[in-house]
């Protein structure tokens, strides 16, 4: 579990595609404090640490992960929002984020509003009912509050601190981001199917 509060912006340093994809990510984390098998949110995707070195760690992504996320678009130099797993007793500053990405959203517009930047996103039709005004979403692992929803388009405001400490300072129209809907909305939606 994660909080959606990004603690480092890493950078892809190496990619290897065999059956699954192995990704090495440069980090400012003290890697001696990261256990092999630990979970790290990598732009919203919960991935398992399989190897590490001084100032880098490696994870693997399966075919299922490729289908539901933006990982297939990553290349050497891609910036990655990272967050280590939540420990009991730590502050829950964002919202409960599982790192299980539901789909990919596309940025449809951006505009400056005061010191913030407003982003609008288009979501797949099958996910639009799970997005609600004043609800929570995780976008590339960042916990955000939904400001408005119209059909399959929703908007969020990203304050300057969040822009400066995540990959959102580099995002623009037509970029894609990993979307995790609110966990409560996911389970309520599933219950209503029955």
Q: Matching CATH topology for 8-84 and 103-193?
A: yes
Please state the rounded mean pLDDT for residues 151-175: 97
Please state the rounded mean pLDDT for residues 112-131: 94
Residue 189 has what pLDDT? Answer: 63
pLDDT digits (tens, 9 = 90+) for 81-105: 999 998 776 776 777 888 999 999 9
Per-position DSSP letters for the chain, written without gaps between them: -B-S---EEEEEEEEEESSSEEEEEE-SS-GGGSPTT-EEEETTEEEEEEEEETTEEEEEE-HHHHHHSSGGG--TT-EEEEEEPP-TTS---S--B-----EEEEEEEEEEETTEEEEEEE--GGGGGG--TT-EEEETTEEEE--EEETTEEEEEE-HHHHHTSGGGG--TT-EEEEEE-HHHHHHHHHHH-
pLDDT digits (tens, 9 = 90+) for 38-78: 999 999 999 999 999 999 999 999 988 988 999 999 999 99
- Give the residue extent of every domain in the chain: 8-84, 103-193
Residue 107 has what pLDDT? Answer: 98
Q: CATH number for the 8-84 domain, one of 3.30.565.10, 2.60.120.10, 2.40.30.20, 1.10.10.10?
A: 2.40.30.20
Residue 186 has what pLDDT? Answer: 66
Whether the predicted pLDDT of 17 surpasses 70: yes
Residue 183: band (very low, low, confident or very high) from pLDDT cuts 50, 70, 90: confident
Spatial strand order of the sheet with 103-113 comes to 142-145, 136-139, 176-181, 103-113, 116-122, 153-158, 148-150
Over its C-alpha atoms, the chain yields an Rg (Å, rounded) of 16
Q: If one looks up domain 103-193 in CATH, what number appears?
A: 2.40.30.20
């Amino acid at each position: 579990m994660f909080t959606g509060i990004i603690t480092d912006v890493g950078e892809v340093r190496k990619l290897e595609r065999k059956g699954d994809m192995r990704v090495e990510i440069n980090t400012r984390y003290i890697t001696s404090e990261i256990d092999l098998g630990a979970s790290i949110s990598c732009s919203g995707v919960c991935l398992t640490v399989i190897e590490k070195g001084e100032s880098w760690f490696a994870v693997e992504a399966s075919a299922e992960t490729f289908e539901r996320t933006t990982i297939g678009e990553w290349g050497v130099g891609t910036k990655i929002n990272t967050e280590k797993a939540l420990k009991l007793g730590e502050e829950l500053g964002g919202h409960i984020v599982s790192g299980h990405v539901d789909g990919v959203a596309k940025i449809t517009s951006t505009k400056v509003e005061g010191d913030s930047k407003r982003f609008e996103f288009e979501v797949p039709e099958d996910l639009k009912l799970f997005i609600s005004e004043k609800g929570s979403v995780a976008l590339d692992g960042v916990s955000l509050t939904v400001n408005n929803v119209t059909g399959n388009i929703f908007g969020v405001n990203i304050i300057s601190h969040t822009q400066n400490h995540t990959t959102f300072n580099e995002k623009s129209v037509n970029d894609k981001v990993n979307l995790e809907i609110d966990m409560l909305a996911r389970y309520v939606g599933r219950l209503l199917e029955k």
